[in-house]
Structure 1
């Protein structure tokens, strides 16, 4: 048993995120058979991910603000603190802070056999997609 070392907050890369988005790891694999990855992610108002999917799906628990989540068929979900959103394996989606507010969520994923291929990234989300126009 040990207390995990503090890992510095990092800003997510502009290739995969639009606007200011910061990440704080909570849990990362230590052993070769462990796959769980958990992080707190903070989004500035209007900041968002690019389109992406996860090999094993993803859980997102909103802890502050209002999260906005979109699917390829144009559906948009506004998620509030205490609510958890689940995306199925391979489901393309994006997440963001709703307009005018910061948002924080806890992201929970399971790495695949090759962790670098667990998330498949696509193009950036347009303003029309973000606003549901």
Structure 2
């Protein structure tokens, strides 16, 4: 996984000056917005651009509209979230919700139930890096509005 992250960060540096995207940092583009997600694993409008994927790992650029979020889910191999734009939330089961900002890094341990998504008033864009070598993501129940707004 370490080699994959190093490779990914190299691609990130190269693509930041060359790839057209919905997002701008100054006059520099980051990654494409991708395709609208049409499955039932999200609430609200979400877009996904897979940047790399094989049986061992996946890296996706995920764009959430305000209020959009994942279902509760877990990754048998864990997940790393790198926030690149906007304001959002991350919560592990039994813990308080965390507010996310550009530059934040979340290291979600293997098999920990969690959810993430945009705040009610801001979009959120993050890179999701998952270790697929121990199994695919397990999608659980939707995050209720009460859970989503708790602590606001």
Q: Which runs of 5+ in 2 are unaligned?
A: 1-31
Change (3 A) 1:127 1:74: farther
In structure 2, the partner of 1:109 is 130
How many residues of Structure 1 are paired with residues of Structure 2 in the alignment? Answer: 120
RMSD: 1.8
Matches within 5 A, 1:51-130: 51-112=72-133, 117-130=135-148
SS in 2 for 1:22: strand
Runs of 4+ in 1 over 3 A off after TM superposition: none
In structure 2, the partner of 1:50 is 71
**More relative contact order, 1 or 2 (CA 8 Å, 6+ apart):** 1
Give the number of the structure whose residues are more often helix, by fraction.
2
Listed one character per residue, the Cα deviations across residues 13-57 of structure 1 (whole Å, up to 9, x for unaligned) are 34100000000011122xxxx612101000000000000000110
Q: TM-score, structure 2 length as denominator? A: 0.73
- Distance, in Å, in 1 between the alignment partners of 2:67 and 2:142 is 13
Determine whether 1:132 maps to 2:150. Answer: yes
Query: Is 1:74–1:132's contact at 8 Å kept on the other side of the alignment?
Result: no
SS in 2 for 1:106: strand
Q: TM-score, structure 1 length as denominator? A: 0.83
Tell me by how many angstroms 1:112 deviates: 2.9
Query: Is 2:33–2:63's contact at 8 Å kept on the other side of the alignment?
Result: no
Query: Is 2:33–2:62's contact at 8 Å kept on the other side of the alignment?
Result: no
